[in-house]
Amino acid sequence: MPINENVSDLFGSKVFNSGVMRKRLPKHIYASLLKTMKEDLPLEENVAEVVANAMKDWALELGATHYTHWFQPMTGITAEKHDAFINPTEDGKVIMEFSGKELIKGEPDASSFPSGGLRATFEARGYTAWDPTSYAFIKGTTLYIPTIFCSYSGEVLDKKTPLLRSMETLNENAKRILKLFGKDVKKVTTTIGAEQEYFLVEREMFKKRKDLILTGRTLFGAKPPKGQEMETHYFGKIRGRVANYMDELDRELWSLGISSKTRHNEVAPAQHEMAPIFTNTNVATDNNQLIMEFMQRVAYRHDLACLLHEKPFDGVNGSGKHNNFSMSTDTGENLLNPGDNPAENKQFLIFLCATIEAVYKYSEMLRISVATAGNDHRLGANEAPPAIVSVFLGEQLTAVLKSIETGEPVTEAKDLVMALGVKSLPKFIIDATDRNRTSPFAFTGNKFEFRMLGSNQSIAGPNITLNTIVADVLSDYADVLEKADDLDAAIDALLQKSVKENKNVVFNGNNYSDEWVEEAARRGLPNLKTTPTALAEFTSEKNVALFGRHNIFTPAEMESRQTILLEEYIKTINIEALTMLTLAKREISPAVVTYTKEVVDTLAAKKAIGSVDVTAETTLTERLSTLFGTFIKSIDVLETTLAAAHECEGEQAEANYFCEKVIPAMGELRLAADALEEIVAEKYWPFPTYEDILFYV
Ligand code: ADP
Ligand code: MG
């Protein structure tokens, strides 16, 4: 069957989407559900019962036997518990049933999910509740129902509830602004297109490396003779095996209604990227979870392994996720679209300036939203944006803002036509911004691209932050403008004030340079280099007030989330350190001993002959012994350092300790092991090297 057969039939074929609903639901029920989905109106009671029944019939036709409430606990991944549709009858048979109640509410045991001290284990009850704004879908033989997750006493235990709340506050405040421009729209949603980077390696290789299996990244590995220096991989020809993988991945995603659009090779060998077409933030978040899951599942079927870790290999680029962000109305207007003449487009300028101001005011919170142990390997490591948050605007918008600040007219040309000097080539209008790959927060034509996210993380956290901080500034703007007698004058004054006060965060240059680090310090921009230093700011007065003001998190919920994030950091590094120790002691050490024995045996045999030169064997033995000595010592140091970690009081102190003491000890051990790898015979080395893993055919 040709691969492109029936793509349009295939697309969304496993999704209970509005097309299916329209066909299967009575008109008034469909209309009511649509109102809930599109306008955030509360669900009417009788609706759930009818929807549940239609959903079940549809799911059964597609082979489903089970349903599950699918939720996103604070672990950043998804959770599910499957229940069969079966219901026993008196004659000893079963019928397949699914009630409105079962659709709306589930009661999973909440005690084994992180709560950061919010909920004691004896109060184990948790609730999941249907989120009608993200479609249900079928995976395997199960109907998946997107839900939120909270505790018996109402504390939020997931990532979706705060995300929905943040979308709500953005909606409210953006509508206030639009009203001032005479636009009475029903809803403003944030839209997200999340580009996903990943590595694909052979499963055979993956299985031989406990570090990849247990931690997702290589903890040892000398630099291969060839890395990414030839710059041939980015956008390079996609090898056959990978192309087949991508084809199958696309088909899986399309059937789930996920519009996988772009695919290409990335900078590092064996690294790739896919980007879906943007959609509303809630759906984009669910979709990204499915994308990551299917990337791994499909890899398995192709004897490959998909690595989603931020830094699977030292010395080659790591993986991130680019969160393309904009806001749009239910009438289809993109609020970050500058239009033909941005300088005159006051509405656009308000949304633009609000976003810039939000990033400046809450840059710590944005940094915190991407702080994980894995991402610490990337941010600021000359391959990804630094830990300093700044905004790239490009020449044209910078000129527009300059003119707002100074009151002088804009000097830049509005549209620039690209003429290539070849008559047969079409002319085209070039973009308002060039690309600046180094900026953490870049305006790219009609959206902002937040580039600091780690490849492995849920996009919920960063978008809870983005939505809330932009909503916060929009709300301040609306407070001022709603009171104004002369609206035009008030808008001009507000824009000028905002540009002046926030220009410090705008930076169009090279974010990877050392000069920028110094310049940013002079500008007073925070530089929270590591996860523990960033997380320490999570519960700052400013942040607690922000999330409280918009009813996203209570102070208790903030504290619990901080605890969870710190614990996650500690656990991650702890597992990595323990894995290193196991590999060092049980795999590398024996290999070195065996190889040394071979060298020493040769040395002895040669010596026995008499007058043969044994300098080479002697030198090699000495080298092995010296490096092995350092290696064994580093094992001991790491072990002692790790053992002392529990003496720290509180999660923050312990996280700091792991960052400042354990990670450097891990670094020392790795250095010694990698040096040994370079001189121990290949056949003795216990696991595949970087070369073996990265350059397969
Ligand atoms: P690049 O690699 O140049 O950043 P891509 O085409 O790979 O570009 O990704 C751009 C992403 O931005 C896509 O996911 C696209 O759907 C998304 N995008 C485009 N317009 C918007 C918008 N208005 N809101 C959110 N995301 C958008
Ligand atoms: Mg991009």
> 8-43: per-residue pLDDT in tens?
999 999 999 999 999 999 999 999 999 888 887 888
pLDDT tier for residue 123 given thresholds of 50, 70 and 90:
low
Q: Is the pLDDT of residue 695 over 50?
A: yes
Q: Is the pLDDT of residue 376 over 70?
A: yes
Q: Is the pLDDT of residue 100 over 60?
A: yes
By C-alpha distance, which of 380, 685, 366, 686 is closest to 514? 380
pTM exceeds cut of 0.85: yes
Q: CA-CA-CA-CA torsion for 574, 321, 114, 367, nearest 10 degrees?
A: 80
The pLDDT of residue 420 is 55
CA distances 82 to 6, 459, 566, Å, are 31, 25, 31
- In three-state secondary structure terms, 235 is coil
What would the pLDDT profile of 493-506 be if each residue is shown by its tens digit? 999 999 999 999 99
Straight-line distance from the first to the last Cα atom of the chain, in angstroms, rounded to the nearest whole number: 26
Q: What's the rounded Cα separation, in Å, for the pair 368 and 529?
A: 10
- In three-state secondary structure terms, 328 is strand
Which residues neighbour 679 within 8 Å (Cβ) at sequence distance 6 or greater? 620, 623, 624, 627
The pLDDT of residue 230 is 63
- In three-state secondary structure terms, 94 is strand
User: What is the atom index within ligand 1 of the atom nearest the CA of 278?
Assistant: 16
What is the distance in A from the centroid of ligand 1 to the CA of 523? 30
Q: Is the pLDDT of residue 81 over 70?
A: yes
By C-alpha distance, which of 187, 96, 105, 132 is closest to 16? 132
Pocket test for ligand 1, best of 170, 253, 447, 450 (most atoms within 8 A of CB): 447
**CATH for 166-553, among 3.20.20.70, 3.30.750.24, 3.30.2310.20, 3.30.590.10?**
3.30.590.10
Pocket test for ligand 1, best of 271, 278, 433 (most atoms within 8 A of CB): 278
The pLDDT of residue 380 is 79
Which tokens hold the place of 639? 């072990």
Which tokens hold the place of 231? 């710059």
User: What is the atom index within ligand 1 of the atom nearest the CA of 326?
Assistant: 24
Among protein residues, the one with the nearest Cα to ligand 1's atom 14 is 193
Q: Is the pLDDT of residue 413 over 50?
A: no
What is the distance in A from the centroid of ligand 2 to the CA of 695? 25
More confident residue, 429 or 568: 568
What is the distance in A from the centroid of ligand 2 to the CA of 437? 8
What is the distance in A from the centroid of ligand 2 to the CA of 306? 20
Share of the chain above pLDDT 90, in %: 79
User: What is the atom index within ligand 1 of the atom nearest the CA of 273?
Assistant: 7
By C-alpha distance, which of 358, 346, 326, 352 is closest to 481? 346
The pLDDT of residue 252 is 96
Which tokens hold the place of 684? 């003795």
Q: Is the pLDDT of residue 3 over 70?
A: no
Lowest-pLDDT choice from 157-171, 405-419, 483-497, 521-535: 405-419
pLDDT tier for residue 2 given thresholds of 50, 70 and 90:
low
User: What is the atom index within ligand 1 of the atom nearest the CA of 328?
Assistant: 23
Counting ligands in written order, the one closest to the CA of 445 is: 1
Counting ligands in written order, the one closest to the CA of 448 is: 1
What is the distance in A from the centroid of ligand 1 to the CA of 277? 7
pLDDT tier for residue 238 given thresholds of 50, 70 and 90:
confident
pLDDT tier for residue 487 given thresholds of 50, 70 and 90:
very high
Which tokens hold the place of 134? 């993200």
Q: How confident is the model over 447-475, as a mean pLDDT? A: 98
Q: How confident is the model over 614-635, as a mean pLDDT? A: 97
Give the residue extent of every domain in the chain: 7-157, 166-553, 570-694
What is the distance in A from the centroid of ligand 2 to the CA of 322? 5
Q: Show the ligand 1 pocket: residues with CB < 6 angstroms.
A: 191-193, 195, 262, 275-278, 322, 324-326, 334, 446-447, 449
Among protein residues, the one with the nearest Cα to ligand 1's atom 1 is 195
Q: Let me know: does 474 contact 173? Beta carbons within 8 Å.
A: yes
Which tokens hold the place of 644? 């002392």
Using alpha carbons only, what angle is made at residue 147 by residues 119 and 471, rounded to the nearest 5 degrees?
A: 85
What is the distance in A from the centroid of ligand 1 to the CA of 263? 13
Which architecture does CATH list for 7-157? Roll (3.10)
User: What is the atom index within ligand 1 of the atom nearest the CA of 322?
Assistant: 4
Mean pLDDT of all residues belonging to the chain: 92
State whether CATH 1.10.10.60 applies to domain 570-694.
Answer: no
Among protein residues, the one with the nearest Cα to ligand 1's atom 11 is 193
What is the distance in A from the centroid of ligand 2 to the CA of 273? 10
What is the distance in A from the centroid of ligand 1 to the CA of 171? 21
What would the pLDDT profile of 308-347 be if each residue is shown by its tens digit? 999 999 999 999 999 999 999 999 999 999 998 898 999 9
What is the distance in A from the centroid of ligand 2 to the CA of 606? 61
User: What is the atom index within ligand 1 of the atom nearest the CA of 444?
Assistant: 4
Q: Is the pLDDT of residue 532 over 70?
A: yes
Q: Let me know: does 373 contact 380? Beta carbons within 8 Å.
A: no
Counting ligands in written order, the one closest to the CA of 336 is: 1
The pLDDT of residue 434 is 59
Lowest-pLDDT choice from 19-28, 424-433, 579-588: 424-433
Q: Is the pLDDT of residue 429 over 60?
A: no
What is the distance in A from the centroid of ligand 2 to the CA of 543? 28
User: What is the atom index within ligand 1 of the atom nearest the CA of 446?
Assistant: 23
More confident residue, 152 or 428: 152
Q: How confident is the model over 196-211, as a mean pLDDT? A: 96
Among protein residues, the one with the nearest Cα to ligand 1's atom 23 is 326
By C-alpha distance, which of 439, 446, 449 is closest to 508? 439
Q: Is the pLDDT of residue 427 over 80?
A: no
Counting ligands in written order, the one closest to the CA of 278 is: 1
Q: How confident is the model over 546-564, as a mean pLDDT? A: 95
- In three-state secondary structure terms, 454 is strand
User: What is the atom index within ligand 1 of the atom nearest the CA of 445?
Assistant: 20
Q: Is the pLDDT of residue 165 over 60?
A: yes
What is the distance in A from the centroid of ligand 2 to the CA of 450? 9
Using alpha carbons only, what angle is made at residue 168 by residues 321 and 20, rounded to the nearest 5 degrees?
A: 80
Q: Is the pLDDT of residue 289 over 90?
A: yes
DSSP string, 592-651: HHHHHHHHHHHHHHHHHHSS---HHHHHHHHHHHHHHHHHHHHHHHHHHHHHGGGGS-SH
Identify residue 436 by its one-letter amino acid code: N
Among protein residues, the one with the nearest Cα to ligand 1's atom 22 is 326
User: What is the atom index within ligand 1 of the atom nearest the CA of 275?
Assistant: 14
Counting ligands in written order, the one closest to the CA of 281 is: 1
Q: How confident is the model over 260-271, as a mean pLDDT? A: 85
pLDDT tier for residue 569 given thresholds of 50, 70 and 90:
very high
Strands 260-265 and 271-276: antiparallel
